[in-house]
Structure 1
Amino acid sequence: MGKPVILLVKEIYYPILTAVGLPANIMTIVILSRRNCGLSKCISIYMLTMAVADLLVIFINVMLYYIFSYHFPLSFLSQTPVCRTILYLATVNLDFSVWFTVSFTFDRFVAICCQKLKTKFCTKKASITVVTMMSVLVLLKNIPVLFAYERQQIINNIQWGCRTSLAFLSSSPGRAYVWFHSAWVLWLPFSLIVLFNSLTVRCILVANRVRTRLRTHRSEDHSDSETENRRKSIILLFTISVTFILLWLTYAVSFVTTKLSNSTYYRGDRTDPAYIATETGSFLKLLSCFQNPCIYAVTQRKFREELKNVAKYPWRLILRLVRKMRI
């Protein structure tokens, strides 16, 4: 009997995601580090940290865990201490990706709607502080993950593999942590993103009405640069936020329905609808780590220009070397 379709999809999907996700996020980090995209230092820091988090997800969650550990089950990566560390880092990386997106959303809300707070919060120093504190909090919050997995077997006195610890899951602290983690990485970020975006839209609509009335009274025909800048900012914000929610939604729904129904899909049935739904949610969730470079390329003109310059640089370097060799 052949492999279940979902396993064949995983074997094809994850290498493709790695092949396109790694260079895309590396290119994004290089471009944002050059600071030639016309973005403020504050926005650049949040966008840069999101790109770094997405790169870590692609590298550790997808490449190390879903590809190397899967295809090489008796490699160094499959030893229990290493495997447990990879699972911990995988959880941490997803938290980084989620909460840096929330931080970016909140920063844009403050910049657009809270003019008094903007001068203190929307600065390079404040953004670095927020990112640092969020990183430390995420690292500490996920320490229980290290105790949520146990060895699968012992070969030559070496512990191999990782499986979910039933003792941890059946304990009250373990069950509480699972639900806390789902709220932390799913429902709380979703709620905050929707809340901040709703308040931002309301603020922009009110501000645009006021400016439209003022311009009408003054009979101004020239373009309103401030309105145009707000339009570009809101397009970037909404595209990132909405895409993020849509890609994570399937995983969120499947997680809750699986827990509520006490499904045991993880015990080996690869054709169970709950397992397929959960894996599909993982596909889309991890795809979100490739979304931001695409969004930047579509919505930001200067980002596209920098992308072309960075892409042309190796060829320019080769041409210079060829010319020097001819001389």
Structure 2
Amino acid sequence: MSGFREHSSGPDGYVCANLMAIVILSRGRCGLSQCITYYLVAIAVTDFLVMISAVILNRIGGIYFRYSVLSTTPGCTVSSVLVYTTRDGSVWLTVAFTIDRFVAICCQSLKTRYCTEKTALLVIGIVCALSCVKNIPFFFTYQPLYILDGVPWFCDIKSTFYTLTIWQAYLWLDRILTPLFPFFLILLLNALTVRHILAASRARRRLRGSESRGDMEMENRKRSIVLLFAISLSFLLLWVIYVGHFLYVQISGEPYFTGLDFNDPQYILQETTNMLQLLSSCTNIFIYAVIQTRFREEIKNLLMYPFATLKGFLKR
């Protein structure tokens, strides 16, 4: 099993950006429905937690605070399980958002019942709960690397993890649930959504004839799905190398790289896959900023708020 050796360049900026997205989206002033807002806030929160657990606690803590509580066996075990839990939550909330938009666009008969605030909160709660439950077994895969003065230090994967069939089955289940199944599910739903949109657009143009140029409903529909495609396609592009590398390792039988030669092509490829799948937790804030005009306006208002407050105080 490959470890999480995340690159830690500039994590503070990404953490602050995700925190800003949470604040802005939570205010509900971006012109989005409450259902979409719930999903986007949940995705932003899990992305924020991925950066905290995977980069700051797991990577930076392990490098710069090597003999802190994070390096004890309980500390690094909790840190590692948090990485898997937050990663799964981020991935499956993206899937949940994709499903919600697929139903809203392609399944009009189900839209009124499924695309509601209550359903969104229920789905978000279930995804978060299952992400926690699914990764509990990882607590039992680690053992101390050594014990010094009665204190267990660092995490070493138990040898039984590689030999027992039940652990190998669990590892395959983990990889199938994240990211193989979500990857292909998002790809399928986007393909079906595009096909439905193209068919609906052609039918509407035929019905409206020469009036199709001024069809504001179609224009609004196109703008509403740009956000969905941007988020889901970003996920697909950033995870495709990770998925391809995993499938190659399983088919070829070659193990993951565990050596110390940092110039080895296998090491570079493996670290690139880890970096890109973590980057998927940083891109959504930039997608919101590029696509949503009102989101950009809210960013400006949030950044200017301290100066506006100071200006009003000085005037008084």
Q: Quickly name the TM-score band, shorter chain normalised.
A: over 0.9
TM-score (norm 1): 0.91
Residue identity over aligned pairs, in percent, reads: 43
Superposition RMSD in Å: 1.7
Q: Which of 231, 246, 252 is the aligned partner of 1:255?
A: 246
Deviations 1:216-254 (A, max 9, x none): 1xx537732221121112221111111111111122222
Deviations 1:15-49 (A, max 9, x none): 31x12211111111111111011101111011110
> Structure 2 unaligned runs (5+)?
none
CA distance in 2, matches of 1:170, 1:294: 43
Question: Cα gap change, 1:96/1:322 in structure 2, threshold over 3 Å: closer, same or farther?
Answer: same
TM-score (norm 2): 0.94
Q: Which of 268, 271, 276 is the aligned partner of 1:279?
A: 271
CA distance in 2, matches of 1:124, 1:71: 43
Q: Does 1:99 align with 2:92?
A: yes
Deviations 1:175-225 (A, max 9, x none): 111111111112100111011111111111111112111211xx5377322
Q: Which of 277, 281, 285 is the aligned partner of 1:289?
A: 281
> Structure 1 unaligned runs (5+)?
1-9
Aligned-pair CA distance for 1:263:
2.0
Whether contact under 8 Å (2:257, 2:270) holds in the other structure is: no
Q: Does 1:223 align with 2:217?
A: no
Aligned-pair CA distance for 1:73:
1.3
Please give the secondary structure, in 2, of the residue aligned with 1:263. coil
Which residue does the alignment assign to 2:51?
Answer: 58
Aligned-pair CA distance for 1:103:
0.5
CA distance in 1, matches of 2:124, 2:50: 17
Aligned-pair CA distance for 1:302:
1.1
Aligned-pair CA distance for 1:270:
3.3
CA distance in 2, matches of 1:70, 1:148: 22
Which residue does the alignment assign to 1:167?
Answer: 160
Which residue does the alignment assign to 2:36?
Answer: 43
Whether contact under 8 Å (1:15, 1:63) holds in the other structure is: no
Which 4+ stretches in 1 moved above 6 angstroms? none
Question: Cα gap change, 1:28/1:264 in structure 2, threshold over 3 Å: closer, same or farther?
Answer: closer
Aligned-pair CA distance for 1:269:
4.0
Please give the secondary structure, in 2, of the residue aligned with 1:266. coil
Q: Does 1:314 align with 2:311?
A: no
CA distance in 2, matches of 1:172, 1:156: 35
CA distance in 2, matches of 1:256, 1:65: 26
CA distance in 2, matches of 1:322, 1:149: 58
Which residue does the alignment assign to 2:83?
Answer: 90
Question: Cα gap change, 1:273/1:149 in structure 2, threshold over 3 Å: closer, same or farther?
Answer: farther
Whether contact under 8 Å (2:18, 2:45) holds in the other structure is: yes
Question: Cα gap change, 1:156/1:199 in structure 2, threshold over 3 Å: closer, same or farther?
Answer: same
Question: Cα gap change, 1:254/1:144 in structure 2, threshold over 3 Å: closer, same or farther?
Answer: same
Aligned-pair CA distance for 1:268:
3.8
CA distance in 2, matches of 1:90, 1:233: 32
CA distance in 1, matches of 2:246, 2:269: 9
Please give the secondary structure, in 2, of the residue aligned with 1:160. strand
Whether contact under 8 Å (1:148, 1:169) holds in the other structure is: no
